[in-house]
Amino acid sequence: QVQLEESGGGLVQAGDSLRLSCAASVGTFVTYGVGWFRQAPGREREFVAGASWTGIQKVYADSVKGRFTISRDNAKNTVFLQMNSLQPEDTAVYYCAADRYGVGTAEVHEYESWGQGTQVTVSS
């Protein structure tokens, strides 16, 4: 099982951009699908974006399509989430996760490895 660590969160203003990173601190997730999820206070964890182990197949939540981009650099064992045009409703703790089936599904229960999360706060 891989261990994941997110970074890159912070406090930004509406319209700004952030890039989150997720690195495997133990193990490798080259053959894993990867996903980004987020959880706002009082709300359930929700899917944001996912990518297959090749990085070719990608899927996004409707709320972030056209604004967020998931990518991966398997040589560096790292996954990224580029977030543009951030809005206050994007405020949440963002988690990356690894799916050993290599799919990068939107289903939270398909992932068995999770990072600790990084806070993203967008002010209006």
Q: What is the pLDDT of residue 84?
A: 98
The helix/strand/coil state of 58 is strand
**CA nearest neighbour of 2 among 33, 31, 25, 21:** 25
Angstrom distance (rounded) from CA 10 to CA 76:
23
**Amino acid 41: pLDDT:** 92
pLDDT at residue 28 in the model: 81
At residue 124, the pLDDT reads 94
How many angstroms separate the first and last alpha carbons of the chain? 39
Helix, strand and coil content of the chain, in percent to the nearest 5, comes to 5, 50, 45
- Per-residue pLDDT for the chain (124 aa), expressed as one digit of tens each? 789 999 999 999 999 999 999 998 777 888 999 999 999 999 999 999 999 999 999 999 999 999 999 999 989 999 999 999 999 999 999 999 999 899 999 999 999 999 999 999 999 9
Residue 52: how many other CB atoms lie within 10 Å: 19
31 contacts 77 by C-beta, under 8 angstroms? no
